[in-house]
Chains A and B, each alone.
Chain A
């Protein structure tokens, strides 16, 4: 296990998933052994930097974090959800795997292609590629592309996915991964307060480069799809990502934030990519614009529902389940749906937040307030209302196993906050 995770120095997401699969939930890497193992691998990467990068086990890497990496823990410890049949030992990957069964081959091909796209460029990225795109990722977004592709293809009478469909899925996953890698740059800084500068340095550099590389690759593949509508659609997403991050960064601890702004930020950061994926898939299926638009709305509503659920879980899960301190969004000043609802009811909360939790115990107090005045409940309602809209958007599709999977994804997401 150690030797494998050593390759994973810069890509915490993979490291976490790996650990989640087979070990106790609160894993952290033994520094010395990783360092020794890393020396060899790192030497070739960047001889100029004497310091070696170490990676603490990291959970906080963006919206995907709960979905892809925490869900295993959650489902193990939670009551068996009524909708899906899960045993104590089964991990969420199994249930998602069930949902994605109908596009399992498509996903396998995707994994192989991604590894070669990233690895072919440069031997340095090769081992990184194995980790980034090796077995273990949930591939929610590509799965959505394939599901919508196949669900809409049926309308037109397509039998097979086009290479544009496949390339679109790859592009989407590269963009998603690139954004996580850049988020890592921001978060890891957070988690390294103090002396590890050179380590941070090394991690930062490779992370920025790898993220840039993947954004660049996806832009290039996108351009070569030669479909102006899709090019513009996806370029908008990349713009939205950046806008969302900046929006968030500039409104930390801002208690005047409205639900609208929160939804807009959630759209930028999460739903935009998903909506572009589902719409793009429909465009390449050649269905009429009304259906494309419904697919866009499905992606948007599902994406928002997904993000709201993530934000709820940040409060409701224990540190052990989350693998990181609970309520870390709040701790950083990122005010999400539960908080926004609670702020409408309890003015004391505002004071605590504006103090930026300088007093010990104030964060815990804030979390209590949020829970007791129904902030979580109202957020749950919001997630459900978006989920319902998403289900409606699927009405235009013929009944098929693909449409069914798309519906189940929406419901499965809500199960996380039952």
Chain B
């Protein structure tokens, strides 16, 4: 395990995926052994930097990465009624079930992504294997394929076009690039203190790799030669940046409103998903009403997804999450449960504004959030968005693809039952 993970020095997400698949949840690497092994691998990459980069087990890198842990423990904690899951089933298996109908499309995608990233430069080759090797959930590309196939039926398209496939690749590259850049930010968080040079090395490669993938996706996007889709996806990349900045500039701001939180969640998560679903239907050639419904589906599902993620940050134990519980809150990122709780309990504001300088204050805050119904109201919000998403699917013919799209919405809610 350690041997494989060594190639993965800079890409926390796939390490997480890997671990989620087969070992105990709270994994962390033995620094020394990774370091010595890494020396060889890293030497070629960047000899100018004497220290070697290490990556601590990094679960907190976005909605996608929490899901393995979350679903893993959700399975053991409650037996969901909707899907037939056994205790041993890992989440990848159940999502795999949902994505069964587009399994081949996803396989082809994985291969293509590896060669796109790896072909550029031998340095990225091993990174590419890790980034795009087996283990990723590929939720966003799956959505592209599902919507592509669901809408293709309407116009009588028999096979996916190469534009469909390329769109899915672009989407996954953008998503991965944003995670890699998030890693730059988060990993700094997890390295308080002395490991500067390690950070240096990790930061450089992470920034470069993220930039490279953004650049690649922009280039492929341009070469799709569809102005509507080009504008759609460019908007997403702009939204990503806006969302990050919005979040960074409103940390610990107890005046944040639900509206702002939803906009931020849209920018950071739902925007890409809705551009994926809409783009897929554009390439299917369906009319604009259906494209718009697909956009709304992506948006509502995306919001529901993010809200569930935000709830889990409170409700799961540190062991399940693989990181301290309430880390959003600890960082000052005030999400739905907190926003609802703030309306009820004035004391929470004081604690948050103190930025948890007193020991035990974070735990107290979490208690308050739970006690005054913040979690419940957030669950309602997630369900509300989910219902809207399911409604948006009404315009599609009944087929296995539409069902999978519906099931995905419900599956997401299962995480917080």
Contacts and interface: CB of A to CB of B under 8 A. Distances in A.
B242 A246 contact: no
Given A47-B332, A182-B211, A124 B237 contact: no
A383 B17 CA distance: 50
Contacts of B120: 243, 246
B86 interface: no
Contact of B237 (A185, A204, A216): A216
Is chain A's interface secondary structure helix, strand, loop, or mixed overall? helix
Interface in A156-209: 182, 185-186, 189-190, 192-198, 200-201, 204-206, 208-209
B221 A235 contact: yes
A238 B217 CA distance: 10
A206 B333 CA distance: 16
A270 to B, nearest CB: 16
A239 B249 contact: no
Interface string B179-220: 001001100110111111101100111011001101110110
A185 B197 contact: no
Given A44-B249, A222-B234, A186 B207 contact: yes
Given A208-B207, A246-B120, A190 B245 contact: no
Given A197-B192, A228-B222, A246 B203 contact: no
A164 to B, nearest CB: 15
Contact of B252 (A48, A219, A243): A48
A228 B227 CA distance: 8
B216 to A, nearest CB: 6
Interface string A215-258: 11101101110101001100110110111011101101100000
Contacts of B56: none
B245 A122 contact: yes
A201 B249 contact: no
A77 to B, nearest CB: 31
Contacts of B388: none
Nearest to A358: B50
A236 B221 CA distance: 11
B79 to A, nearest CB: 38
A249 B333 CA distance: 35
B219 A238 contact: yes
Contacts of A396: none
Interface stretch (B41-49, B137-145, B374-382): B41-49
A45 B251 CA distance: 9
Given A48-B331, A208-B184, A228-B222, A213 B123 contact: no
Contacts of B234: 216, 219-220, 222-224
Given A197-B192, A231-B230, A235-B222, A212 B185 contact: no
B227 A209 contact: no
B181 A208 contact: yes
A121 interface: yes
A80 interface: no
A220 B207 contact: no
Nearest to B195: A197
B46 A189 contact: no
B200 A190 contact: yes
B260 to A, nearest CB: 13
B231 interface: yes
Interface string B263-287: 0000000000000000000000000
Contacts of B230: 223, 231
B218 A219 contact: yes
B115 interface: no
Contacts, number: 195
A236 B249 CA distance: 32
Contacts of B227: 223, 226, 228
Nearest to A226: B227
A226 B230 CA distance: 9
B46 A122 contact: no
B241 interface: yes
Contacts of B241: 209, 212-213, 215-217
Contacts of B44: 250
A252 B50 CA distance: 12
A8 B85 CA distance: 55
A223 B217 CA distance: 14
Contacts of A134: none
A192 B188 CA distance: 14
A264 to B, nearest CB: 13
Interface string B222-256: 11010100110011011011101110110111000
A205 B245 contact: no
A219 B223 CA distance: 14
B181 A243 contact: no
Contacts of A243: 120-121, 212, 215
B221 A200 contact: no
A333 B245 CA distance: 35
A186 B215 contact: no
A356 interface: yes
B229 to A, nearest CB: 10
A212 B124 contact: no
A96 interface: no
Counting chain B CB atoms within 10 Å of each CB, the highest count among A200, A215, A231 belongs to: A231
A213 B242 contact: yes
B218 A235 contact: yes
A124 B196 contact: no
Contacts of A200: 188, 196, 199-200
A125 interface: yes
A216 B223 CA distance: 18
A332 interface: yes
B334 to A, nearest CB: 11
B203 A253 contact: no
Contacts of B188: 197, 200-201, 204-205
A398 interface: no
Contacts of B333: 48
Contact of A189 (B189, B199, B235, B251): B199
Contacts of B185: 204-205, 208-209
Nearest to B178: A212
A46 interface: yes
Given A205-B188, A212-B244, A249-B204, 13 more contacts: A47-B252, A121-B245, A122-B249, A124-B249, A186-B204, A195-B196, A197-B196, A204-B199, A212-B181, A213-B242, A231-B222, A249-B208, A333-B47
13 contacts: A45-B249, A122-B249, A200-B199, A209-B244, A209-B248, A212-B181, A213-B244, A216-B237, A226-B227, A235-B223, A239-B215, A249-B45, A250-B44
Interface of A: 44-48, 121-125, 182, 185-186, 189-190, 192-198, 200-201, 204-206, 208-209, 212-213, 215-217, 219-220, 222-224, 226, 228, 231-232, 235-236, 238-239, 241-243, 245-247, 249-250, 252-253, 332-333, 356
